[in-house]
Amino acid sequence: MSAETVALKTVAPTRPDREEAEDAVRTLLAYFGENPAREGLIDTPRRFIDAYEEFLSGYADDPIEILSRTFEEVEGYNDIVLMKNIRFESHCEHHIQPLIGVAHVAYLPGNRVVGISKLARVVDAYARRLQSQETLTNQIARAVEEALQPRGVAVLIDAEHQCMTTRGVHKTGVSCVTQTLTGEFRQDPALEARFFRLIGQPA
């Protein structure tokens, strides 16, 4: 691979403006045989961009900043802190189809804890990007580790991929489960089993 090719792969393209983005939607509609100027579609490019700005709003969020306000006055609490059944909506990076499920996020505090809503916000910050489920799982765990420096982190995600249920193999009722365990959750089988028991999963 030439140096020029490598440079092209690593330099981010210039971000198009709103008008260019809406024109791209019109191009796609025409590609699939539609008339972008007909009444039912005339405002679709605007609505499409509005929707995807919401779907992909996580690029504007800094998960470490979300977790930056921590608390130390917890009367010596040092057991599992768990937020379970955090519903999220994401989009797979391969087909840009919905990826919908729940995340369970736990950590063992070191010297700091964080407001519980912040864990849900971190899940959303990463989920609202084009993602693979494996990457999403690791990103959440790494952010909690970096920001809180806990004794261990456990993240499990259980999600259904619309790119598999509505296209391709068309298999419904199938979910994908991914997990990341660090620190004491990884080192201590009993602690790992407690995490799975708390979220209602077999160990």
What is the rounded average pLDDT of the residues 56-67?
96
Longest dimension (CA), the chain: 65
Q: Kindly tell me if the per-residue pLDDT of 202 is higher than 80.
A: no
- pLDDT recorded at residue 55: 97
What is the rounded average pLDDT of the residues 58-67?
96
Distance, in Å, from the CA atom of 99 to the CA atom of 130, rounded to the nearest integer, reads: 10
Say if residues 195 and 186 touch (Cβ distance below 8 Å): no
Q: What domains, with CATH codes, occur in the chain?
A: 14-55 (1.10.286.10), 63-198 (3.30.1130.10)
- pLDDT recorded at residue 167: 86
Q: Kindly tell me if the per-residue pLDDT of 9 is higher than 70.
A: no
Mean pLDDT of the chain: 92
Distance, in Å, from the CA atom of 35 to the CA atom of 69, rounded to the nearest integer, reads: 51
Distance of CA 59 to the CA centre of its chain: 11
Q: For the segment 90-103, what is each residue's pLDDT rounded down to a tens digit?
A: 999 999 999 999 99
- pLDDT recorded at residue 73: 73
4-13, 69-78, 97-106: lowest mean pLDDT where? 4-13
- pLDDT recorded at residue 171: 85
Q: Kindly tell me if the per-residue pLDDT of 7 is higher than 60.
A: no
Q: Strands, DSSP E only, in 147-189?
A: 152-161, 176-181
Q: Which helix (H) or strand (E) holds 40?
A: none
Nearest to 111 by CA among 80, 155, 73: 73
Say if residues 113 and 148 touch (Cβ distance below 8 Å): yes
Burial letters for 87-103: b for 16+ Cβ neighbours within 10 Å, e otherwise?
ebebbbeeeebbbebbb
- pLDDT recorded at residue 4: 54
